Amino acid sequence: MNQLEQLKQFTTIVADTGDFQAMKAFAPRDATTNPSLILKAVQKEEYRHLLEQAVRDHGGKSMGEITDRLLVAFGLEILKLIPGRVSTETDARLSFDTAGTIDKGRALIGLYEAAGIARERVLIKIASTWEGIRAAEVLEKDGIRCNMTLLFALPQAIACAEAGVQLISPFVGRIYDWYKKSTGQDYAGADDPGVQSVQRIYSYYRKFGYKTEVMGASFRNTSQITELAGCDLLTISPELLQKLSESEAPVTRKLSPEAAQQAAMEKLTLDEKSFRFMLNDDAMGTEKLAEGIRLFCADAVKLEKMIDGLR
C-alpha cells in the first residue's frame, strides 16, 4: 500500500482544498475550506461560475449575504463528492464578536438546511479566540457542530474541549514556521514543534476523556503527517496527498488512546483570565493567532472586491 492508503488505516483523511478535482482523485471522507482556499478557487476558470451565479442570484443582498451564499455553494458542491462533512468558515472579522459569530453560524447552517443538507454534515469553522470558543459553545448546544481553527496552543485546545466543541484544527505547519524562523534551525520528524504540539493536545484529550476530535492541519511536508498517524483526522492539501500516494515507505501508528493514558499531564480548568494569561505567555500562539486572523480578514476583503466587481 502507498502511504496514503496506510494512513487511512489509522486516521480519517480530509481534503484541505476548494478544488473539486482533487477530492475526486483522493477520496477523502471530509473536506475543509477557508477564505483563502475559496479565494484561490474562484480565480480558476472552472470555479468562477459559482462566484458569478452567487452574484447573479443574490446581487441585491448585502455583501455578507452574497459571501455566505458563495461559501455554501462551494460546500454544496463538495458534499456531492464526499461521504462525510464539509467545514465552512465564519468571517474572520467576527473573531472577537461572540454574538456576531453565533448569528453567522446559524445563518450558514440555515442556508445548508434550506438546500436539503442535514446540519450533521456541516462543521462551522470559527477562530479559537476566547470569544469564538464561547460562540461555539452556544452553537453546539443548538446542535450546530463547530471546527475550531487557528489553534496553536494548549490553552486554546483545553478551552475548546471544555466548551464541548465537535472538532479542533491545530495548525502544525504554522507552528513549525514560527520556530524555524525564531531559532534559525530546521526541524524534522518527531522533533518538529508543530508535531509535538498536536501530540500533546491529542494525549491531553484522550487521557482526560474529552470527546472533541483532533484534526491536524496546515502541513508543510509528509513527515509531519506520518508522525501524526493515529490522530483522529488529518486535513491535507492536494499536493501532499499526491506525495503520500506516490510513496510506499512504511507508516506506523504514532498516536493512540492507549498510549495517551500513560502521558504525564496535569488536568487544567481555564476561566477567561487564565486562558488569556496562558495564551499571552505563549509567544508563538499569540503571534500566529493574530497573524492568522489578519490573513483571513485580508482574503475576505479580496473576495468581496471580486464580488463587488461583478455587481
Q: Is 181 a catalytic residue?
A: no
| Distance of alpha carbon 176 from alpha carbon 157, whole angstroms | 18
| Distance of alpha carbon 140 from alpha carbon 109, whole angstroms | 12
Q: Could you tell me which of 79, 80, 112, 105 has the C-alpha nearest to residue 91?
A: 105
Instruction: Name, in order, each residue with C-beta under 8 angstroms of 277's C-beta and a sequence gap of 6 or more.
Output: none
Q: Could you tell me which of 27, 32, 29, 23 has the C-alpha nearest to residue 11?
A: 29
Element (H, E) at 55: helix 48-58
Task: Please provide residue 122's backbone torsions phi and psi, each rounded to the nearest 5 degrees.
Answer: -125, 135
C-alpha cell at 212: 472533541
DSSP lists the bridge partners of residue 12 as 233
| Distance of alpha carbon 63 from alpha carbon 304, whole angstroms | 7
Catalytic residue (choose from 104, 125, 254, 288): 125
Q: Could you tell me which of 5, 235, 219, 271 has the C-alpha nearest to residue 123?
A: 235
Q: Mapping DSSP to helix (H, G, I), strand (E, B) and coil, where does residue 300 land?
A: helix
Maximum CA extent, the chain: 58
Q: What angle do CA 128, 132, 137 make, to 5 degrees?
A: 105
Catalytic residues: 125
